[in-house]
Structure 1
Amino acid sequence: MEGVPAIFPCEKDRAQFRQYAELPGVELYQAHISRYAFEPHTHEAFGIGTIESGAQRFRYRGAQYTAPTHSLIMMNPDELHTGESACEEGWRYQMIYIHPDKMASLTGDRGWWFNEALRTDARLAQPLSQRLSALWLAESALARQSLLIDLLAQLRPMARMAEKGKEQAGHRFDLVRDYLRDNLAEPVRLEELAALVSLSPWHFLRAFRAHFHVTPHQMLMAYRLYEAKLLLARGMTAASVAASVGLSDQAHLTRAFAQRYGITPVRYQKQVRGA
């Protein structure tokens, strides 16, 4: 793609995204990464995938994981995480991102949740890997819809469901998280976040890091860039997206987007809009 700068330091590395009109709330992803380290980022969707070769190291919910070949990764929505190679040759993997509302509408079950982020069992990972590959290559809407249902049926035994009528108790920092999400384009200051939970900035920052395992700025940037993905997928120009999510200009968006997702905003847009 002429005019789109290379992002990965290693020429073997690549990342590809794909979306389909008949599967709103679903995004497919395939990549090979050897030298690149993804900064903390989030998806307001379930992130489910398999390691096809090599090994990945990632941080999720304050714990460090190493995922070898033929392992299964299951991340819950809105959880910040990282990613980097755990071996010399890097890792090749594929993922599917499914919005919780889409998961519920397809299955009739609300409150999906995965207690385990990693399962190192080839008997579980390989059938899911085959479904993901088939979904990526399927040529008709009906085939893709059917394959997605089959994939969810494979995942269902590994998930737990929230009890009907029973809501999980929130944490007081959820108020701060929601404030950041609702004020993406605004200049946010530490003292105003601390005031939301009646703490001094010093105590707030320490407690926030202990709870979410990232700083407020890292969380804000993760939300900004996730929103940028949604706007790019709708066809908004990169310059307009940058302004909408509170970044200084298109160059700032390009640098930050590539650091989180390993691809430029323009290239991402061409991939998902092209499908």
Structure 2
Amino acid sequence: MHVDAAEFKRIHRPGVELYRAHIVRHAFDPHTHEAFGLGAIESGVERFRYRGGEHLAPPQSLVLMNPDVLHTGRAETAQGWRYRMVYIDADVVAEVTGEPGWWFADPVGHDTAAAQRVSRLLAAMWQGADALALDGALGELLDTIRPHARGARAPSAARPDSVLDRAVALMHDRLADTLSLEQLAAAAGLSPFHFLRRFKAQHHVTPHRMLMALRLHRAKQLLAAGVAPAEAAADVGLVDQAHLTRRFARMYGVTPGRYQQQLGTRPVRRAAAD
């Protein structure tokens, strides 16, 4: 009987995080990585929601997700799906390739040869320890994916709504606060329900779900830096550590403690408040 298994790993290069998983029963809540999510499906089929549409990623296909896009994930086949990913900050992609402004029109790339190569490179990176070899593999991986990338930003119809950006910025600035629809709408200069309609049309989720995804992503960064789960929960406005554990597992497939263990994170001590 198959069970869900998910693992994260960091390499020496900041802004790069590896992931491998076999997911059978788990259904990922909408979440974001604020980085490119690039990888390959090794077996089974994944179904996920991305930019308001439903997508299927079959075996030997590429997964090509742009930064800051909320998405879900669940198995479409009884045996689940097995896959490898790398989450790469946009500035790292630009530095490695010399090409700022990468963007992917489609989140699934039907390219068997490229998917097989990406899978092999990610497997080698997972096992690798030599920094020079890892950097070389990272460059090869991006070279392999390059034909599927656009060389410029998304067309205007797909670009974020700059008015709504102000509300999202407020969410980032006040993750630990209780925000109302009126406050977010005021940041965007819109009436509350006009804002709500426009936000859902752009992001395909409610403001509350976006805020929760941003909170959990920030908690993930804090956990990776060695902050204790209870402190991370408080920093991002969650009720307590148990709340963080439930939501984190639903979004990322592992508990906060397990995530820190996988990364080999060393705990940090914070200065006591006066």
Question: Could you say whether these structures have the same fold, taking a TM-score greater than 0.5 normalized by the shorter chain as the test?
Answer: yes
- In 1, Cα distance between equivalents of 2:194 and 2:126: 47
Structure 1 residues 169 and 256: CA distance shift in structure 2, 3 A: closer
Structure 1 residues 19 and 187: CA distance shift in structure 2, 3 A: same
Give the deviation of 1:170 after TM superposition.
Answer: 4.7
2:46/2:81 contact within 8 Å kept? yes
Structure 1: stretches of 5+ with no match in the other structure: 1-9
Instruction: For 2:252, give the aligned amino acid.
Output: Y
- In 1, Cα distance between equivalents of 2:82 and 2:4: 9
Q: Which runs of 4+ in 1 moved over 6 A?
A: none
Question: What is the total number of aligned residue pairs between the two structures?
Answer: 261
Task: Give the aligned partner of residue 5 of structure 1.
Answer: none
Greater relative contact order: 1 or 2 (C-alpha under 8 angstroms, separation 6 or more)?
Answer: 1
Local SS of the residue matching 1:263: coil
Cα RMSD after superposing both structures: 1.7
Tell me the TM-score normalised to structure 2 length. Answer: 0.91
2:225/2:265 contact within 8 Å kept? no
Structure 2: stretches of 5+ with no match in the other structure: 154-158, 267-274
Give the deviation of 1:115 after TM superposition.
Answer: 1.2
1:47/1:75 contact within 8 Å kept? yes
Aligned counterpart for 2:8 among listed residues 2, 12, 17: 17
Task: Give the aligned partner of residue 141 of structure 1.
Answer: 131
Deviation track 1:217-258 (CA, whole Å, cap 9, x = no partner) reads: 110111111111111111111111111111111111111111
- In 1, Cα distance between equivalents of 2:263 and 2:122: 17
Task: Give the aligned partner of residue 122 of structure 2.
Answer: 132
Q: Identity, % of aligned pairs?
A: 52
2:163/2:189 contact within 8 Å kept? no
Give the deviation of 1:114 after TM superposition.
Answer: 1.0
Task: Give the aligned partner of residue 3 of structure 1.
Answer: none
Deviation track 1:100-129 (CA, whole Å, cap 9, x = no partner) reads: 111112222211111121112212211111
Aligned counterpart for 1:69 among listed residues 59, 66, 82: 59
Aligned counterpart for 2:21 among listed residues 24, 31, 49: 31
- In 1, Cα distance between equivalents of 2:17 and 2:184: 32
Deviation track 1:132-161 (CA, whole Å, cap 9, x = no partner) reads: 111111132221111111111112222122
Tell me the TM-score normalised to structure 1 length. Answer: 0.90
Give the deviation of 1:215 after TM superposition.
Answer: 0.6
2:223 paired with 1:217: no
Give the deviation of 1:274 after TM superposition.
Answer: 5.6
Task: Give the aligned partner of residue 92 of structure 1.
Answer: 82
Instruction: For 2:151, give the aligned amino acid.
Output: M
